[in-house]
Amino acid sequence: MEQTWRWFGPPDRVTLRDAREAGATGIVSALHELPAGGVWPVESIRARQAEIRSARMEWSVVESLEVTERIKMQTPGWRADVENFAQSIRNLAACGIRTIAYNWMPLFSWMRTHLREPAPKGGYTTRFDVLAFAAFDLYLLQRRDAEADWGEDLSRAAHDYLADLSSEEKELLQQTILQGLPGGHRSLTLQKTNDLLQEYSGLSSEDLRASLREFLMLVCPVAEECGVKLCIHPDDPPRPLLGLPRIVSTADDLQWLLQQYPHAANSLTFCTGALGVRADNDLLAMVRSFTPRIGFLHLRSTQRETVYPKGIETFFEAAHLEGDADLIGIIIELVKEKRRREFAGDHFHLPFRADHGQELLNDRERNAAPGYPAIGRLRGLAELRGALTMAERLIVDLE
C-alpha cells in the first residue's frame, strides 16, 4: 500500500517538503488552476510532475479531474466536456499517471458548515451541523420546497438556531457553504446557487444514475485502453442536499455502479469518512465485498453526534483512529487481501492517504486549507502507518 499526501499545487501552504518529511512517497494532486471541462495538456501535466519529482516523490493519483455540471445534467455541451475528460485520461496515462479520482455530487462537492470547530481533545476540526445547514437552506438561500424537505419540526429548530447567531456568524455560515472547500466546487453566490438549482429542478435519482451510466460507457473504454483506474468518490455527506439526489452513498449504490462497467477501469475511491457518516453503512462488510474494485483509499473517521428525523446526521471529523470508523479492522482486511493476491501471484498496489486532519499545535498559524493541515495529517499518517505495519506483522506471524 502506497502512502500518499494531498497537495493543492504551488499555492498550498503545506509544502512538498512537508509531505516528504511526513513519510509520504506519493502525491495526490490536480491542475486546479485549469477550468473544469477543458483538456489537461501533456506539457502542464509534465511540468507539475517534474515539480513533484524534484521533491523526490511521484505524482501517484489525480484528484480531482472534475466532472462538469453539464455532464451530470446532460445539458448542451456535455458531450464535448466528456470528450475533453477522455482526452485528459489519455494525456495523464501518457505521463504515467493511472489512478484518477472524481465524484458525481451535483452542484456541491464535500460539504461542511463549520471549518474550525474545537475538537474534543484539543485542536480544531471541521463539522457538518444539520441545524446550521437547514438554517442556510431555509432562511438564507430560501430555496423553494426546502420546508417540505426538512419538515416542520426541523424547520422550526433551524429558525431558532439562526435567530441565536450574530450577523457575523450568519455571514460566516453562508461563506463556508458557498465559497467552496479544497478540491471542491467553485465559489458561488446565493443567486447563482438558486439559478443552478433551477437547472437541476426535477432531476431524480434515476435521472442522475442514467447520466452516470452513460458517462461510464463513454469514458471507461478509454480508461481501460490506457490502463487507468477511474475511482469515484462517495457522497460527503452521503445524503441528498438542497433537494438534489446523491447516488453514491450506500453499499447498494456502489454495487450498482460497479455493475455498469465490470472492469477495473471503473473503480472506487473508498472513503471511510464519507461512507462512515451513515450508521447503516457497514464499512468492514463493504471493504470485504469491494476490495477488488477499490483503486484508491481515503482513510479517515467521522464521529456522529446527533441523528435527526429522516436519518440526517450532525458529525465532525474525528482523529483517524477514533470516531465511528474502525480503521484498524479495515486495515487488517486490506492486508489480508494483499496477502491473498501475493499468494496468487497478483501484484497489489493500492494508494491511500490520511484524509483530512484536525488542526493541532501550530497548524492554525500556517493557515492551511480547511481540513488539510500539516501536523494533523502527519499525525494521521503516522498512526495509520503504525497500524498497517502491525497488521502486516500480525498476519504473517499467524500464517
Catalytic sites, residue numbers: 233, 271, 298, 355-356, 372
Contact 73, 215 (CB under 8 A): no
Q: 389: Cβ–Cβ under 8 A, 6 or more apart, which residues?
A: none
CA–CA distance, 325 with 311 (Å, rounded to integer): 18
Output the CA torsion sign for 153, 177, 183, 228: positive
Q: How many CB atoms lie within 10 A of CB 148?
A: 10
CA 231 to chain centre: 11
CA 12 to chain centre: 18
The long-range contacts involving 304-313, CB below 8 angstroms and separated by at least 24 positions, are 304/277, 304/279, 306/130, 307/279, 308/130, 308/154, 309/151, 309/153, 309/154, 310/151, 311/239, 311/278, 311/280, 312/130, 312/239, 313/128, 313/130, 313/237, 313/239, 313/277, 313/278, 313/279
Contact 274, 238 (CB under 8 A): yes
C-alpha cell at 171: 455571514
Q: Where are the beta strands (DSSP E) in 311-399?
A: 312-318, 351-354
DSSP code for 56:
T
CA 300 to chain centre: 11
Contact 146, 243 (CB under 8 A): yes
Q: 213: Cβ–Cβ under 8 A, 6 or more apart, which residues?
A: 260
How does strand 312-318 pair with strand 124-128?
antiparallel
Q: How many CB atoms lie within 10 A of CB 306?
A: 11
